Structure 1
Amino acid sequence: MSASADALYMSALHHVTVDLDIERHTLRAGVSNG
């Protein structure tokens, strides 16, 4: 894998992780708000 492809992959992976984290926090906030 080239360096740029590796960086792009890590960036995409990070983006997905952040999205999941935001989703988890949103769900938790929704539950606590009833």
Structure 2
Amino acid sequence: MWNSLQPSSRFYDQGTATLSSISVALQLRIHFVATI
């Protein structure tokens, strides 16, 4: 069923995953700086 989705939604999922990774990276960096 998921394979029948439009490429746009697939691109949207990839973009969301990228934003999530950036968000996690920022949180880890803030936590790392705050620990020092």
Instruction: Provide the TM-score with structure 2 as the length reference.
Output: 0.78
**Structure 1: which 4+ aligned runs deviate by more than 3 Å?**
none
Deviations 1:2-34 (A, max 9, x none): 01000000000000000000000000001xxxx
Structure 1 residue ranges without an equivalent (≥5): none
Structure 2 residue ranges without an equivalent (≥5): 1-6
Q: Please show how residues 4-15 of structure 1 align to structure 2 within 5 Å.
A: 4-15=10-21
Equivalent of residue 17 in structure 1, options 23, 31, 36: 23
- The root-mean-square deviation of aligned C-alpha atoms, in Å, is 1.2
SS in 2 for 1:2: helix
